[in-house]
Amino acid sequence: MQKANNPSGLSLYGSWNGFRLLYFVWSAAELFVEIVLPLSFVFLIFASQMSSARSVLSLSKVFQPWAGLKGNTVIRPVICSRREKSSYTPPPAKYGGRHTVTLIPGDGIGPELMSHVRELFRFSCVPVDFEVVNVDSAATSEDDINNAITAIRRNGVALKGNIETNHKLPPSHMSRNNLLRTSLDLYANVMHCQTLPGVQTRHKDIDIIILRENTEGEYSSLEHENVPGVVECLKIITRINSLRIAEYAFKLAREKGRRRVTAVHKANIMKLGDGLFLQCCKEVAAGYPDITFDNMIVDNTTMQLVSKPQQFDVMVMPNLYGNVVSNVCAGLVGGPGLVPGANYGKDYAVFETATRNTGKSIANKNIANPTATLLASCLMLDHLKLHDYARIIRKAVLTTLSETQLHTADLGGQGTTSEVVQAIMQEVQRSRLHISKPI
């Protein structure tokens, strides 16, 4: 029998090569159905959910309602993107234009003064609701401070009384104040030290902004005893943290119209640690040619402050020096009861008195000066973009402060805390009567 003529010499079903080709195609189809196709569905579902989340986030940031003093609501558009989020972008208002703020009463005079803040806010119809979180400084567990940190992460903003440091705990335990700042990465402590009306001081016309790196340095809680009688305490200075606090200082100086930034250091002795901090400040200064930059050794700085404080404008420094200089400057303008402070990070902000003094010796005596705490609450309102409320309360506080007969004992007067707060509320009422339209 004559064989069939096959010029190509190939048969799809009869040759081995054809069988291998068919097997390969079949295997590829199985791979596509079992792996590629399911993964495609998962990707589509994930992309859909991300698109919805972005839409919700965008809508929440497009409109921020602000409530007026008389209950009238005024909608003002505030547009920002996720990339623009910084310490200057407050969390969006919730629940009909009201903001929720974490309130940590703290120790000493803290609970007493925080109650006056809440009283004044209610009287002024400020659209802020406080979530109170108590922190026990005597507790050995960190559950309470962790609860406070969680609340701040939820709300974005906190008003805080100082928490007393428990010196009985071992060195490995970080203080609650320090734990809160480092956990939330509140790297910039800002204090505005200025001459206040009605307060008698040795020096006049003081107007200094102090920026303190808030998360490292000698406050890193890294110390140990190698052998009995020999202790090592580590000071941590990093390039990334030094650059960002320097950048914050120069950026703030430009925003506030300041002309000079002074870096405070001890690089003549600590050539590596403080030398790195100083070098980072110089690098950042090169990007701000419109602002004069200089530097000063910390011991000379304290002497210059008490002799001629008017020479300083904006000062930036590592953690420990910031603690010392802040207290010196507070003393120059009248004491710890007058100066507010703020701690800023990328995502959170915490407001408190600048000197972080618990005032335990005068607690519950109705003689504490409420000025610093009330001014700190005004800084908080400015951060929340409630500028009109901040302006009215701040003006009332400073007007009352200018009346010497209402000064508390720390300023040489005989006024009580309650009397001062009542006078401030009366000033707020006068301001409201002169408002022709709702805020």
Say whether 202-332 and 61-186+339-439 share the same fold.
yes
Say how many C-beta atoms besides its own lie within 10 A of residue 283's C-beta.
14
Q: List, in order, residues 6 or more apart from 272 with CB less than 8 Å away.
A: none
Q: Which two tokens stand for residue 105?
A: 């009463």
Residue 70: pLDDT over 70:
no
The reply to whether CATH 3.40.50.720 applies to domain 61-186+339-439 is no
Q: Regarding predicted confidence, which is higher, 203 or 438? A: 203
The pLDDT of residue 58: 40
Residue type, 208: I
Beta pairing class for 99-104 and 157-160 = parallel
The pLDDT of residue 174: 82
The pLDDT of residue 9: 45
Q: List, in order, residues 6 or more apart from 355 with CB less than 8 Å away.
A: 326, 327, 330, 336, 339, 341, 372
Distance (Å, rounded) from C-alpha 237 to C-alpha 223? 15
Mean pLDDT value across the chain: 84
Residue type, 145: I
The pLDDT of residue 78: 33
Confidence tier at 19 by pLDDT (50, 70, 90)? low
Residue extents of the structural domains in the chain: 61-186+339-439, 202-332
CATH no. of 202-332:
3.40.718.10
The pLDDT of residue 33: 56
Please calculate the CA angle 352-110-328 and round it to the nearest 5 degrees: 50
